[in-house]
Structure 1
Amino acid sequence: MLPPPPQDVVHGWMSTPNIRGTRDILSSSLSTIWLCTWTCLYLNIPPLRSRRGHRALLYKFCWQLFAIFFPEVLVATAAEQWLSARQSVTAFSRLGHSEWTIRHGFFADMGGILIAPLDCEPFPVDSQQLAYLVQNKHMDMPDITVDGITSVDKANGLARFVTLLQMGWFCVSCIARGAGGLGFSTLEVTTLAFILCTLHTFFFWYYKPLDPEIQKALSVNAEIKHLCQRPGIDPDLPESYTITPLDFVKPPPDPKSLITPFWFGLAVVSGQDRTATHANRPAQTLPNSRVLPQDGVSMALTIYMVAFQLLYYGLHIGFGWIAAFPSSIEWYLWTVSNCADFGLILLYILAIPLGTHFAPFLGRLLFDMEATGIIQVASALPQWAKLVIHGPFIVVYIMGRVVVLVESLVSLRALPRVVYEDISWSNSLPHL
């Protein structure tokens, strides 16, 4: 008696099934986000207690969290730091020091150069303050070579190459999915936005040293009063400076800056504006949020950063129409959150020039002072008024980012089957 014929027979060649699981989406997206937000961080020299061991890792991890919540702010900060370093090259070239490079400018602006007056403990000077000291014959041009800066630079070309390789492969995969009519998850859209930001920070911080621990100390054969001999400056008064006695050299915040209002509002909400006045002075490092290009922010850079914001939020909103959401309510939350954050940025962009125009009038009206910028007027407000003005902006902005990040993960709980279909590379790539 013959055996029964086999059931469910597949005739011919059987290909490997092209599917991917939730773990595959999570691993590829989260690993890319981690690489993007870790390798892009070229921070100013941290306080001495945060330069070694677990404190150094904790310090950088906190900034990685900042990069996750505010990647577009990190790009704008890097852009203005790049502009400041470039302007320093022009400033020293006018003084006859053509050996000063953009790498020197970054090293000085990140707190890599300390000066030690006769009657004051050493404190850092940025490139503009150093140019002021050299121009006014308070000190000679320091002998700092590019090789000397490179020797303290811990930049790892392999780490950057691996990150670029991962970002490139992720983008190619997303392009192939779009060409093949396959779906996207919101986590993949968020990852594409991080890739966009990381490419910009890589460009702007290309010449900035990574994690230098040693600061170059320079002796100055003069007292601090001699260095600050300017009308209206009294270095004996504790209120005369916030970071170092040479704060008066820095220009006021440029009204075209997109990040100055954000950093000011974040300091108000977090209470750092109050603790800064009671901190030990002079400071031994320069904060990452302190970006004041000596010639101001160029209009070209401002337009470029506005275009970047359009691209960044346009990517979220545009891909939101084709990404997979478990429900229409979650799509509305995603879209409204991104539109709200972009709307707040546009509101600040419009409010800054208007505030700058009315700053002199508001300064005389409210505080009987001659104000040159809206930040100067805002700094003179009582604490409750600062919180009323800046608190809602920061809180709504953070809430919008939290919704986007949380939705990127929770949306994986229910996705269309097409999202789990993998790319058929054998049909997409030429082969023998």
Structure 2
Amino acid sequence: MLILLLAYYLTQSAHSEAGPIPASIDVRDVASCDGQYSQRSLAGIVRSCLWTIFLCTWVAVHPNVHFRAEKQHEHWTEKWLWDPLHEIATYKLPLFLWALLVPEYILSWAVRQYLQAGVISEQVPGWTRTHGHFMIMGGFHLFRLPVDAPSVPLPLESLEPSNFVIPSGRHSRRHEVPVCPLRFEDVPVDVLEIFTPSETELKDRGKSDALTKIIVLVQTLWFVIQCIARGSQRLPLTELEVVTLAYATLNFFIYMFWWDKPRNVECPIRVYKTSTARHEEAGEKAKEWVENWVVRWMQKLFGYTTGGQDYYVNLSEKYSIPMFWSGKIDRDLWSAAGLGPSILGSAFGAIHCIAWWSEFSSRPELVLWRISCLAMITVPFLVAMICAVLMANERTGNKDPWWVYAIFVPCVVLLALSAWLYIASRIATLVIAFTALRSLPPAAFTTVDWTTFIPHI
């Protein structure tokens, strides 16, 4: 958000130095509405684009629960100044930068959570996908009761003893000790049915409702319609509008997969154990990164790119749910969750090619823009190839045939070598999009003649 505000300030400064749009522009050089001279301002273009980008990179992101324990005897400056700034700098701002520089990764994260939420919701009677999302995003957090706090063990249908309890006496919640976020496999279904709120209560915990999401979608849809209308009337789009159009296109898919996920939930539901009860994660143990730093770097790059980093996380050792946690989903779902967003990521880069033949201020900007477009198409396509090979290998049931290595290894190597190029290309297109505003063609200021879309009687 700070980057966008700074860019807007620089654009406004450049516009004020250059002065208003020259009065010498011939009215015949721009489109008109019923023969009248109709123009839009540079400030209006920038304002519309920045607002749409803000909706797609800040408002559209549905973060996991970032748990922070309550502090006792906290000074007001720490509570109202330092803690909010620390939250923005260490959590919300990094999420914003990820959405700004790698939006297709946010889409892949949303797809993984959508698929895993569907799997979880089918295993608990009465649960919906909203409950599944709430479970994945760290909505249940394990707490230990104080030593002297009375409690009642929760009975299970299987009559097996349970370590989970319900407080049965008076005690201060400040003395409860937070342990770790809980996975679905760590909590018996009987216990979840007792602690879980209804779907309406879960949505009430979020900071946005269906109306808010519809307003955001309508705003981004209106921007897309304007771009399509300008293209149909042969009016040029600025490079900033092309970049914004790419964000708005991905935003529809992100909202679709996160529609049922509560947004900005800050307080998880407390699930209790006694002070003496142990907690161990169910299922397979977390994997470990290899010791060789070169192989480990490539392993982490591949894992975080395709969303497989969750297999290396031990939640029982975490104080809060990881930022991009989506659960340890099955490998076939994991590959499918990476294939679709990677293809859309290539489409995201291809949208930037709309400005392939635009009038740039200099030849280097034109060359850099085209190279960036090719990089933003190629790198996500490599990820799509990797996911497709993994899916084919799982479907055939063979144990890593030769053709898997023939495709998989070169793609991983190319991805490792070109990952930095993708980030550089994203930054380059954002910078050029704003610097190109200093010398726009006269037709870029022409508004759309909407009367041409209205049928005449």
The match for 1:162 is 215
Cα offset for 1:143? 3.2
Cα offset for 1:306? 3.7
Instruction: Output the CA distance in 2 between the equivalents of 1:73 and 1:161.
Output: 23
The match for 2:340 is 304
Cα offset for 1:86? 0.7
Residues 304/394 of structure 1: CA separation in 2 closer, same or farther (3 Å cut): closer
The secondary structure found in structure 2 opposite 1:122 is: strand
Task: Give the TM-score taking structure 2 as reference length.
Answer: 0.66
Say whether 1:122 aligns with 2:179.
Answer: yes
The match for 1:320 is 355
Residues 71 and 197 in structure 1, CA contact (< 8 A), matched pair in contact too:
yes
Cα offset for 1:221? 6.2
Letter in 1 for 2:188: V
The match for 2:24 is none
The match for 2:304 is 264
Which of residues 327, 330, 341 in structure 1 aligns to 2:365?
330
Residues 247/197 of structure 1: CA separation in 2 closer, same or farther (3 Å cut): farther
Say whether 1:396 aligns with 2:449.
Answer: no
The secondary structure found in structure 1 opposite 2:444 is: helix
Q: Which moved more, 1:343-352 or 1:72-81?
A: 343-352
Instruction: Output the CA distance in 2 between the equivalents of 1:357 and 1:204.
Output: 24
Which of residues 39, 46, 55 in structure 2 aligns to 1:35?
55
The secondary structure found in structure 1 opposite 2:62 is: coil
Which of residues 196, 200, 204 in structure 1 aligns to 2:249?
196
Instruction: Output the CA distance in 2 between the equivalents of 1:349 and 1:321.
Output: 24
* Alpha-carbon displacement from aligned partner over 1:382-410 (angstroms, at most 9, x marks no partner): xxxxxx99875443221111111111111
Query: What is the number of equivalent residue pairs in this alignment?
Result: 354
Residues 67 and 266 in structure 2, CA contact (< 8 A), matched pair in contact too:
no
Which of residues 136, 151, 156 in structure 2 aligns to 1:109?
136
The match for 1:143 is 195
Residues 149/203 of structure 1: CA separation in 2 closer, same or farther (3 Å cut): same
Cα offset for 1:331? 2.3
The match for 1:99 is 126
Task: Give the TM-score taking structure 1 as reference length.
Answer: 0.69
The secondary structure found in structure 2 opposite 1:305 is: helix
Cα offset for 1:315? 1.4
Q: How does 1:67-82 map to 2 (within 5 A)?
A: 67-82=99-114
The secondary structure found in structure 1 opposite 2:270 is: strand
Which of residues 137, 148, 152 in structure 1 aligns to 2:205?
152
Percent of aligned pairs sharing the same letter? 24
Letter in 2 for 1:331: L
Residues 49/24 of structure 1: CA separation in 2 closer, same or farther (3 Å cut): farther
Letter in 2 for 1:343: T
Residues 294/325 of structure 1: CA separation in 2 closer, same or farther (3 Å cut): same
Cα offset for 1:194? 0.6
The secondary structure found in structure 2 opposite 1:48 is: coil
* Alpha-carbon displacement from aligned partner over 1:32-53 (angstroms, at most 9, x marks no partner): 1112212101100114179974
The match for 1:134 is 188
Runs of 5+ unmatched residues, structure 2: 1-26, 28-32, 71-78, 146-162, 164-176, 290-298, 394-404, 406-412
Residues 104 and 342 in structure 2, CA contact (< 8 A), matched pair in contact too:
no
Cα offset for 1:303? 4.2
The match for 2:233 is 180
Instruction: Output the CA distance in 2 between the equivalents of 1:247 and 1:69.
Output: 35
Runs of 5+ unmatched residues, structure 1: 1-9, 229-244, 254-258, 359-373, 375-387
What is the Cα-based RMSD across aligned positions, in Å?
4.2
The secondary structure found in structure 2 opposite 1:217 is: strand
The secondary structure found in structure 2 opposite 1:199 is: helix
Instruction: Output the CA distance in 2 between the equivalents of 1:342 and 1:419.
Output: 26
Cα offset for 1:107? 0.7
Letter in 1 for 2:365: E
The match for 2:375 is 340
Instruction: Output the CA distance in 1 between the equivalents of 2:96 and 2:202.
Output: 25
